[in-house]
Each structure stands twice: as structure tokens, then as C-alpha cells.
Amino acid sequence: MIIKSLDPRISRAGLDDQSGIGALEPMDQWQTYEVFQQKKRGTHHTHVGSLHAPNHEMAILFAKEQYARRGQCVNLWVVKTADVFATSYEDEDIFSTTPEKTYREAEVYKVMDRIQAFKEKQEKI
């Protein structure tokens, strides 16, 4: 069977899957890494993209060149994509909260008017 590929160079070569020609060596396919960037100290790291690298040292170097060269950056994280785990959408019920315990949420407390009144009182003094 002839190997069909999105890469026209491979399709033109007419390679079949029985021949050893075109077999990938271990370093032919680099690992994928996810890159997280921190723009300022004390802020959260945000996902900025993915890259391919042979090891984590090169991944940090590639991430620095690709994602931190022009913009402001104080810290980078690189994580193997294979090591990133996510919940499935079928498990969304684990994130639901009980409505009778809204007192645990900070957004329930409306104190901005009291804070503003305190600031105005302090300015008058």
C-alpha cells in the first residue's frame, strides 16, 4: 500500500508501508511542549502556545526565542503535552456548587459602597 500524506514530498516519493525507507528515527519526531508565560512578577502564568523540541532544555530555549523575545516576560514554564491532563466535559458536574452556600464566594459581599464611604471620610479628616 502506498503511503498517502498531506506532505506532497512524501506522496511524490511513492513509498510503501512495507519498505523500511522513510521509517522515522527516534529524533525525527520531537516531543510537543506547552508554553506558559508570566508577564510580571505576581501575575498568573498564561498559556501562549506549543512547540516541538528534543528535550526540556531545548524547549525552554525555543520558548524564550519564540514567545519571550519581543514582549515582556519574567518567567516561562514548559510542560510536555503528554503530561497535561484535563477533565472531560461529561464531568462538568464536579464544578457545580450548591446555591445555598453562596456566602463562601467573595462576590456575594457588596462592600464597595462602605469602602468608598470610608475613603471619603478619611479624606475629610
Greatest Cα-to-Cα distance within the chain, rounded to the nearest angstrom: 88
Q: Name the fold adopted by 25-124.
A: Ubiquitin-like (UB roll) (3.10.20)
Whole-structure pTM over 0.95, yes or no?
Answer: no
Instruction: Give me the pLDDT at residue 86, please.
Output: 87
Question: Where are the domains positioned within the chain?
Answer: 25-124
| Helices within the chain (DSSP H only) | 8-13, 56-67, 112-124
List, for residues 34-89, the tens digit of each pLDDT value.
Answer: 999 999 999 999 999 999 999 999 999 999 999 998 889 999 999 999 998 888 88
| Percent of the chain at pLDDT exceeding 70 | 68
Length reported for the chain: 125
d(CA 4, CA 116): 68
Beta partners for residue 76, in sequence order: 37
